[in-house]
Amino acid sequence: MPTENELAARARLTHEVEVTPAFYDIDVMEVVYHGHYVKYLELARSALLAQYDYDYPRMRDSGYAWPVVDMRLKYVRSATFGQKLKVSATITEWENRLRIDYVMRDAATGHKVNVAHTIQVAVNIATREMCFVCPPVLHDRLGVSA
Query: Does residue 26 touch a copy of itself according to CB under 8 A?
Result: yes
**Binding test (CB under 8 A) with a copy of itself, winner from 8, 18, 35, 111:** 35
Nearest distance, CB of residue 83 and a copy of itself, angstroms: 11
Query: Does residue 16 touch a copy of itself according to CB under 8 A?
Result: no
CB atoms within 10 A of CB 116: 21
Q: 36 to 65, contacts with a copy of itself by CB under 8 A?
A: 38-39, 42-43, 46, 55-57, 60, 65
CB atoms within 10 A of CB 105: 20
Query: Does residue 67 touch a copy of itself according to CB under 8 A?
Result: yes
The string over 27-62, giving b where at least 16 C-beta atoms fall within 10 Å of a residue's C-beta and e elsewhere, is eeeebbeeeebeebbeebbeebbeebebeeeebeeb
CB proximity list for 86: less than 8 A, separation 6 or greater: 16, 17, 18, 19, 104, 105, 106, 107
Nearest distance, CB of residue 139 and a copy of itself, angstroms: 23
Query: Does residue 29 touch a copy of itself according to CB under 8 A?
Result: yes
Q: 80 to 139, contacts with a copy of itself by CB under 8 A?
A: 81-82
* Residues within the interface to a copy of itself (CB under 8 A): 22-24, 26-31, 33-35, 38-39, 42-43, 46, 55-57, 60, 65, 67-75, 78, 81-82
